[in-house]
């Protein structure tokens, strides 16, 4: 059974469960760039991460995961067939599944260890993309910051090193 985070206090108390060695972030369609953003954030603090929107690549990545790893599945509807299939297989192999979706009763939610819910109820076509993606990005940022806060003292040298390398891309 998955857990629901209904408030920030409960979310913060659960951050200790996020202790993956290897992290895969998966999303398709408009959720793919959210998965890529997650992978980059966690790479900055030393997680071995990847993100892919190609189903074959996702299957290959999943085949190399172990129970020490975590899979972040992102699907606004919670009904994306490939993402649901990957989450189901991951759980069958003991891999932690963290899901970001808008619908707690969606098929993807049933295959989740940790369920993070967005709250997007826009029916305006012009607002649709923004209304769906921003809440998911905010949840990922919250998860990232939560892990960062928990491990900040041990991560500071790594963060400093990453920032030094990133400065090479600045004028």
Q: Is the pLDDT of residue 114 over 50?
A: yes
Q: For the stretch 83-121, what's the b/e string if a residue is b when 16 or more beta carbons lie within 10 angstroms of its beta carbon?
A: bbbbbebbbeeebbbbbbbbbeebbbbbbbbbbbbbebe
Query: Which CATH superfamily does the domain covering 3-169 fall into?
Result: Glucose-6-phosphate isomerase like protein; domain 1 (3.40.50.10490)
For residue range 28-38, list pLDDT tens digits in order.
888 888 999 99
Q: How confident is the model at residue 128 (pLDDT cuts 50, 70, 90)?
A: low
Full-model pTM: 0.82
Q: How confident is the model at residue 74 (pLDDT cuts 50, 70, 90)?
A: very high
Query: Domain boundaries in the chain?
Result: 3-169
How far, CA to CA in Å, does 161 sit from each of 6, 120, 131, 153, 167?
36, 37, 35, 14, 10
Q: How confident is the model at residue 16 (pLDDT cuts 50, 70, 90)?
A: very low
Q: What is the pLDDT of residue 17?
A: 52
Q: Is the pLDDT of residue 126 over 70?
A: no
Neighbours of 157 (CB within 10 A): 9
Smallest CA-to-CA distance from 12 within 116, 93, 97, 88 is with 116
């Amino acid at each position: 059974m998955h857990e629901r985070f209904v408030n920030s206090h409960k979310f913060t108390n659960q951050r200790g469960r996020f202790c993956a060695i290897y992290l895969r972030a998966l999303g398709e369609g408009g959720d793919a760039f959210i998965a890529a953003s997650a992978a980059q954030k966690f790479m900055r603090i030393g997680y071995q991460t990847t993100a892919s929107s190609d189903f074959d690549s996702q299957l290959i990545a999943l085949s190399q995961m172990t129970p020490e790893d975590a899979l972040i599945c992102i699907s606004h509807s919670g009904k994306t067939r490939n993402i649901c299939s990957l989450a189901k297989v991951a759980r069958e192999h003991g891999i932690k599944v963290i899901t970001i979706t808008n619908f707690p009763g969606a098929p993807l939610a049933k295959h989740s260890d940790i369920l993070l819910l967005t709250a997007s109820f826009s029916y305006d076509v012009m607002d649709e993309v923004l209304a769906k993606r921003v809440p998911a990005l905010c949840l990922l940022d919250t998860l990232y910051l939560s892990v960062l806060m928990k491990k900040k003292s041990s991560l500071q040298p790594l963060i400093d090193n990453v920032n030094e390398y990133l400065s090479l891309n600045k004028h």
